[in-house]
Structure 1
Amino acid sequence: MQVSNRIAIAWPLATTAMHERVDALRQGGEDVIDLSIAISHFPAPLPVRQAVAAALREPRLPYTAVGGAPELRAALAAKLRGENGIAATPAHVIATNGAKQAVYEALYVMTDPGERVIVLRPHWPAYAATARLLGLETVLVDQPDVIDAAFLATLPAARVLVVNNPHNPTGKVLTAGELAAVRDWLRATGTACLVDESYEKLVFDAVHLSLAACPDWEALGIVTVFSASQSHAMMGWRAGFAVAPQAWVSAMSTLQGPITAAVPALTQVAAAAAFGIGAVSELLADYRVRRDMVVALFAPVAWAAVAAPAAGPYLWCDIRALTFDTQGFAELLLQRYRVALMPGEALGCPGFIRIGFIADDEATLRRGVGAIITLGDSMARAAGGHACSA
């Protein structure tokens, strides 16, 4: 059966594809440690579960407006003003089924086929995949240690710049100076900006600031995406939203209407509760311990360089001293040790691996990391190198 040309040029996301492979192995009775994505071992916060339980006791769950119930959009706009410094009203907000839907709808209404989108590398694979589905030209640019005017001046002309802050997978959090440089560049070039701030509440060692916290954010064409998936251990709830110029929110609603209509009523209740409680302190404390533990395990390993990320549920590990073929490394790891991770090729950077450190218990995490080190040491010995591990 022939499929359309639109979808024939696309491919499944590497992140979801690896997770589905893990699920298939587990369905077959295999014991697999999945470090390829971030699935929290925490439950959704108690206020979220209580709010949903109360909603289930109501006699009806009605349809809402496509963009979300008025009370949800009002609550999210208040959150944006109070926490992010974004001058938003309910008309600037649209509730979506997770961050991916928000990214797709935003790029759909911000661009036309053939226009150029700049994505900083390494990158969350959904940005490039979405751009490809929409017929956009994607330019991948290596993200520097510091984003400043000199770096931005090297970027090509484009319709949209995609910014991820905090960043997946490196955990980088943009400083006030970096955000100011981006705003100045947007003003000077007329480029619009899609900002993914899904990890805003998963910050360990920095202060998160929103790019749209400026008086002219709407005129600049800044769309900001948020999600409760990682920050509130709500991966399966699909609770996300975007704040965008009113004309774009209206257009995103027009697009969302015939696809999914409104986000499910229970998800909207969960979103209101989650975004109303801010960061989850016990979750952050636990993740910090896990982050530091894995960094310490890699510290004596000669072929790996792992820095403690300032934010997020991932470690970005440089193993170029061992191999640039991290796709092959990931395949060997899964075949020999039944441990899954995300190879850097999927995020635009061969020679790196992404490790999700928030799933399962600490003993399982240690076993998974131990398998990575064991495989790397054996490869280093086979190549005549000198591996050093704990």
Structure 2
Amino acid sequence: MKISARIASSRPLATTAMHGRVETLRNEGQPVIDFSIAISHFPAPRPVLDAVNKAVERQRIMPYTSVVGALDVRADLAAKLRAENGVAASPDEIIVTNGAKQGLYEALYTMADPGDTLLVFVPHWPAYVATSQLLGLRPILADLPEEITPAFLDGLGQPDIVIINNPHNPTGKVYTRRELEHLAAWVARIGARVIVDESYEHLIFEGGHVSLAALCDWRKIGVVTLFSASQSYAMMGWRVGFALAPAEVVNAMQTLQGPITAAAPHLSQVAASVAFATGAPRAMMADYRERRDLAVRLFAEVPWIVMHAPASGPYLWGDVRSLTLDTVGFAEALIEEKKVAVMPGEALGVPGFIRLGYISDDVPTLCEGFRRIIEFGEAFAAHEAADRK
């Protein structure tokens, strides 16, 4: 069977591939602890569940909506943007998508042509690079600094599109207002369009979230902002998010989305409208903070890993360079020997690190997984030392 050249050289996302491997092993009866992905142990918010139940009872037939999403849903999302993000937008500047990945793909497809350059900070969410390569774009990778300064930005050249992930996956960095002001001034000066992924806007422990679109003329610059219910509201399987973009970009995204999936499912739109109106998930974040702090304490005395407490997000970003730069090999051996899955840093553009999702399962399982990692790392270090003798 012929496979097109444009997909034959591509590979599944490392994140989804590892999660699929875990499911296969579990179906074979092997008790794998999965830290490779972040799937919340919380259910969707109660108001979301209640609203969906009422919608099913009231309206037995689920209708198609317009491709961009139902008008009342987009009006609700526009109200959320005004109240929470300080961004004035109309419903025709919003498109409801089947998760942030679809929004990313459609934004890149409609704003760039093959050969255009795309600046991505590393470490990065794997979908940024994978999607750009599928579309024939040229990703330019730059190390994410501790602080974004004008001097740093001036050294990055003139990319056609810039991707900003705020809060950042996997490091947990939360961009300050000053950093975002530097970025806004820079992209306006060089004429770059911007995609801002704000999927983790409510998953913040330290600092405060600021939307880039609130600090600039986002319509003139060409800023697309992506939002997702998956992590902020523990709605991973609902597959719903939305994008804020200039009206002409939304129209173009609609043209693309129509023949691919049409509108997001009616019930997912109902869920999104309610979820994004519930604000910050305080109880969930209190639980996540306890888990984050527990993990950092457990790893604090381990000599071969440096694990800082992230300022945001559902992941830990562990530095294991003192042990190995081959974290693909590390992760492969770990899942084979200890039945624990982690994401190697190579998948996110930085060897020598591992990413651990810490929001799944119960706390005893979390601790058992960390115990296995520490035990494995100690044996790995002893083996490496023996080989050097």
Q: Which residue of 1 aligns with 2:89?
A: 88
TM-aligned CA distance change 1:354 to 1:99, over 3 Å: same
SS in 2 for 1:135: coil
Cα distance in structure 1, aligned partners of 2:75 and 2:216: 20
Q: Which residue of 2 aligns with 1:264?
A: 265
* TM-superposition CA deviations, 1:66-92 (whole Å, max 9, x none): 000000000001111111011211111
In the TM superposition, residue 59 of structure 1 has moved relative to its aligned partner by 3.0
In the TM superposition, residue 383 of structure 1 has moved relative to its aligned partner by 2.5
Q: Which residue of 1 aligns with 2:31?
A: 31
Q: Which residue of 2 aligns with 1:388?
A: none
Q: Which residue of 2 aligns with 1:303?
A: 304
Cα distance in structure 2, aligned partners of 1:384 and 1:61: 62
1:137 aligns with 2:138: yes
Cα distance in structure 2, aligned partners of 1:6 and 1:381: 44
With the length of structure 1 as denominator, give the TM-score of the two structures. 0.98
SS in 2 for 1:315: strand
1:31-50 pair list within 5 angstroms: 31-50=31-50
Q: Which residue of 2 aligns with 1:202?
A: 203
One-letter amino acid of the counterpart of residue 203, structure 1: I
Cα distance in structure 2, aligned partners of 1:204 and 1:191: 31
* TM-superposition CA deviations, 1:216-271 (whole Å, max 9, x none): 11101110000010111100000100000110000000000000000000000000
One-letter amino acid of the counterpart of residue 31, structure 1: P
Q: Which residue of 1 aligns with 2:361?
A: 360
Cα distance in structure 1, aligned partners of 2:376 and 2:167: 30
Q: Which residue of 1 aligns with 2:53?
A: 53
* TM-superposition CA deviations, 1:31-50 (whole Å, max 9, x none): 01000000000111100100
Cα distance in structure 1, aligned partners of 2:10 and 2:114: 15
SS in 1 for 2:337: helix
- Conserved in 2, the CA contact under 8 Å of 1:339 and 1:371? yes
Q: Which moved more, 1:12-21 or 1:146-155?
A: 146-155
SS in 1 for 2:79: helix
Structure 1: 5+ residue stretches without partners? 386-390
In the TM superposition, residue 202 of structure 1 has moved relative to its aligned partner by 0.5
Aligned residues with identical type, % of pairs? 58
1:1-390 pair list within 5 angstroms: 1-57=1-57, 58-384=59-385
- Supply the RMSD in Å over aligned alpha carbons: 0.9
SS in 1 for 2:215: coil
Q: Which moved more, 1:262-271 or 1:371-380?
A: 371-380
Cα distance in structure 2, aligned partners of 1:112 and 1:59: 43
Cα distance in structure 1, aligned partners of 2:5 and 2:67: 29
What count of residue pairs does the alignment treat as equivalent? 385
One-letter amino acid of the counterpart of residue 7, structure 2: I
With the length of structure 2 as denominator, give the TM-score of the two structures. 0.98
One-letter amino acid of the counterpart of residue 337, structure 1: K
In the TM superposition, residue 156 of structure 1 has moved relative to its aligned partner by 2.2
In the TM superposition, residue 187 of structure 1 has moved relative to its aligned partner by 1.1
- Conserved in 1, the CA contact under 8 Å of 2:106 and 2:257? yes
- Conserved in 1, the CA contact under 8 Å of 2:97 and 2:240? yes
Tell me which stretches of 4 or more aligned residues in structure 1 moved more than 4 Å: none
Structure 2: 5+ residue stretches without partners? none
- Conserved in 1, the CA contact under 8 Å of 2:328 and 2:344? yes
SS in 2 for 1:139: strand
Cα distance in structure 1, aligned partners of 2:96 and 2:292: 31
Cα distance in structure 2, aligned partners of 1:180 and 1:26: 47
One-letter amino acid of the counterpart of residue 85, structure 1: G
SS in 2 for 1:140: strand
One-letter amino acid of the counterpart of residue 247, structure 1: E
Cα distance in structure 2, aligned partners of 1:156 and 1:131: 18
One-letter amino acid of the counterpart of residue 301, structure 1: V
One-letter amino acid of the counterpart of residue 6, structure 2: R
Cα distance in structure 2, aligned partners of 1:81 and 1:113: 35
SS in 1 for 2:77: helix
SS in 1 for 2:61: coil
- Conserved in 2, the CA contact under 8 Å of 1:87 and 1:215? no
One-letter amino acid of the counterpart of residue 28, structure 1: E
Cα distance in structure 2, aligned partners of 1:197 and 1:7: 28
One-letter amino acid of the counterpart of residue 21, structure 1: R
In the TM superposition, residue 215 of structure 1 has moved relative to its aligned partner by 4.8
SS in 2 for 1:268: helix
Cα distance in structure 1, aligned partners of 2:303 and 2:216: 48
